[in-house]
Amino acid sequence: MPSSPPPELSLVIPVYNERESLPRLLDEIAAALRPARPAYEILAVDDGSTDGSREELRRLRAGHPELRLVGFADNAGQSAAFAAGFRAARGKVIVTLDADLQNDPADIPGLVAELERRGTAAVVGYRPARRDTAWKRLQSRIANGVRNRLTAETIRDTGCSLKAFRADAVRDLPWFTGMHRFLPTLVRMRGGTVAEVPVRHRPRVFGASKYGMWNRVFRALADALAVRWMQHRVLRYRIDEEWT
């Protein structure tokens, strides 16, 4: 029996103890994408959840045949989840978003359309009106500033997971812990262009954030230093003649 053609679009969603959010998330994705009728798949990467998220994903598959699962034996972190999802994705365009419902799936079609309109390697969202506590916004602002200062970047909101990439721009990126916060920088290091667009942000409905001050600021410093080292060590050359 011939295999089905690959989808145009792959959604990569790390999942860590988000069981209550998953039914609504998948319904919202379907409402956002099915009217436009793109061929899409959802890569839910279960990062060693302990709250029954994987069992919920198996149950939801009956009503969402586009859903695929990548399950980790243990909790490995968000960067590992994105890496596994990117490697499993079959679409020409990859969109990333969180599973906690704070990203609005209704923004996905506009993000993909902007990728095509601008012809860039990536379009990344930024949240002009964040629906988080003042303390969490402060932590993110500091961490974002640290990353941009050390990597000479201008990305407004590195912590926003809602991003669209051309698959060939990200599939072979070097992966390391914390690198999901530097995807636009790594794309630019390989010669790709990056655009930014405003996206919506919603208050958390279920559960609590998995990240605190250590994750947002101190890890931002360590990870940014690693990326800065890579920026200074990347190979740069221009071929002006080649015999074949």
Domain membership of residue 83 (yes or no) is yes
Domain membership of residue 22 (yes or no) is yes
pLDDT in tens, 135-179: 666 566 666 666 656 656 667 787 889 999 999 999 888 777 777
Cα atoms in the Cβ-side hemisphere of radius 13 Å centred on 139: 17
What global pTM score does this model have? Answer: 0.80
Q: How far apart are CA 162 and CA 234, in angstroms?
A: 27
Q: How far apart are CA 113 and CA 132, in angstroms?
A: 28
Q: Domain containing 110: what range? A: 9-131+156-204
- 1 band by pLDDT with thresholds 50, 70 and 90: very low
Domain membership of residue 101 (yes or no) is yes
Predicted pLDDT of residue 3: 61
- CATH value at residue 176: 3.90.550.10
Instruction: Among 18-22, 189-193, 204-208, name the one with the lowest average pLDDT.
Output: 204-208
Give the count of domains, the chain. 1
Domain membership of residue 108 (yes or no) is yes
Predicted pLDDT of residue 159: 80
pLDDT in tens, 69-126: 999 999 999 989 999 999 999 999 999 999 999 999 999 999 999 999 999 999 999 9
Domain membership of residue 213 (yes or no) is no
Domain membership of residue 160 (yes or no) is yes
Domain membership of residue 243 (yes or no) is no
Domain membership of residue 178 (yes or no) is yes
